[in-house]
Amino acid sequence: MDLDHEALSPATRAVALGRPPREPGAPVSESVTFTSTYLAGGSVNYARVGNPTWTALEDVIGGLEGGEALVLASGLAAIDAVLTLVPPGGRVVAPGHAYNGTTGLLREYTAEGRLEVVALDISDTAAVVEALDSLQAGRDLLYIESPTNPMMEVADIPVLVREARARGILTAVDNTFATPLLQTPLADGADLVVHSATKYLSGHSDVLMGAVVTPPTDRGRELRQRILTRRTLHGAIPGPMEVWIVLRGIRTLSVRLERASANAAELVRRLADHPGVTRVRYPGFGAMIAVEVRGGADGADRVCEAVRLWTHSTSLGGVESQLERRRAQPLEAETVPESLLRLSVGIEDVEDLWRDLAQGLDRA
Ligand SMILES: *Cc1c(COP(=O)(O)O)cnc(C)c1O
């Protein structure tokens, strides 16, 4: 009898899915398939359409999110594929503090007159629901990111998705920060989940990759087909080697996230009492923290320069702890405080992390 994947917990799915068929002598791990084309007569004729290494990773990500996944070249390629589901002239309700590449892309589409964007505080449920009333059924999109990057605002996903669905509005959720181990928006009725697999899913800061996941319903399959067509015709495809690296990384997602989250929770307890810190933003789960520090932008920059173990770098979700002053990024929203440091907590020993961070914060 075959293994019932539905009965497995997410931690097990991350390990067990996306494996070659269990036959005597078969490899246990999926290999990297380097080919640009296939012998005629099969279901996939060319490598812009499909690749067995992609399929393995798609099985894992889809299995974790409770849907069907498509891998794309980067998180932004995945987000762009979702935004192009909205026809020209359509409206998107989105967080004012979404990932700065997302807000940058929305700004571009607004400037070109392709989309209208209603940017708001995604944690203000009443305001988002009110904005939904200005959207047109079957055309517009509610785009959620939760927790938001870098302000750590948390959306009430079940309520927002329910309200959007009741109005015939498509919903997409960027699940990069929480990962499917902490939140599964498709189970709440969302139509699309997007990931920057560059972050926690791969987990080692060595590759860029994105994914779009749709529910296993008629409506979900129709959306999936449109994303697949977009991937095939616009060509934002990932390389098989990169996909294999993510496949290798996602196997340990559960232990990495567990350790990083425990580290983050402990650091949050200590950060609150550090005199260099004026505010801690932490949603109570996950391994991302934002802190505001004394001394404004200069104080925050001094912390970035002073750390020796933490890496001062953009990006997040790797095994190594990273920090960055977000407003140093040109695209970052002006409502993000100048002194805000985004901390991506890794899997190192928490005492080492604290010692290094605390001596940095002493200079804020
Ligand atoms: C990094 C990030 C993205 C963009 O992903 P890339 O892989 O860098 O293209 C999108 N959303 C969130 C929340 C991110 O952190």
Q: Is 356 a domain residue?
A: yes
- For residue 58, the 8-state DSSP code is H
Counting the structural domains of the chain, the total is 2
CA atoms within 13 A on the CB side of 108: 10
Q: How far is the CA of 157 from the centre of ligand 1 (A)?
A: 19
Q: Does residue 265 share a domain with residue 211?
A: no
pLDDT at residue 330, rounded to an integer: 86
Q: Does residue 226 share a domain with residue 144?
A: yes
Q: Which amino acid residue places its CA nearest to atom 7 of ligand 1?
A: 75
Q: Does residue 354 share a domain with residue 208?
A: no
pLDDT at residue 1, rounded to an integer: 62
Q: Does residue 137 share a domain with residue 81?
A: yes
Active-site residue, 48 included: yes
Q: Does residue 258 share a domain with residue 232?
A: no
pTM of the full predicted structure? 0.97
- Alpha helices (runs of H) in the chain, residue ranges in sequence order: 10-16, 52-65, 75-83, 100-111, 125-132, 157-166, 218-234, 240-250, 253-271, 296-306, 350-361
Domain boundary among 189, 224, 250: 250
Active-site residue, 99 included: yes
Using CA atoms, how far residue 290 sits from 50, 54, 101, 150, 354, in Å, is 39, 34, 18, 7, 15
User: Could you identify the atom of ligand 1 that is nearest to the CA of residue 78?
Assistant: 9
pLDDT at residue 292, rounded to an integer: 98
Q: Does residue 233 share a domain with residue 282?
A: no
pLDDT at residue 209, rounded to an integer: 98
Active-site residue, 199 included: yes
Active-site residue, 174 included: yes
Q: Does residue 106 share a domain with residue 207?
A: yes
CA atoms within 13 A on the CB side of 73: 11
Residues of the chain short of pLDDT 50, as ranges, are: none
* Among 279, 313, 314, 304, CA closest to 294: 279
Q: How far is the CA of 76 from the centre of ligand 1 (A)?
A: 6
Q: Is 1 a domain residue?
A: no
Residues facing residue 281 across a β-bridge: 290
pLDDT at residue 6, rounded to an integer: 83
Ligand 1 pocket, residue 210 CB under 6 Å: yes
Indicate the SS3 state at residue 92.
Answer: strand
Q: The domain that contains 257 carries what CATH number?
A: 3.90.1150.10
Ligand 1 pocket, residue 199 CB under 6 Å: yes
Q: Does residue 223 share a domain with residue 98?
A: yes
User: In terms of residue numbers, what domain contains 185?
Assistant: 8-250
Q: How far is the CA of 177 from the centre of ligand 1 (A)?
A: 9
Q: Is 336 a domain residue?
A: yes
pLDDT at residue 36, rounded to an integer: 98
Euclidean distance between CA atoms 154 and 71, whole angstroms: 26
pLDDT at residue 75, rounded to an integer: 98
Catalytic: which of 91, 140, 143, 199?
199
Domain boundary among 250, 272, 300: 250
Of 76, 79, 182, 326, which is best to mutate to test ligand 1, by the most ligand atoms within 8 angstroms of its C-beta? 76
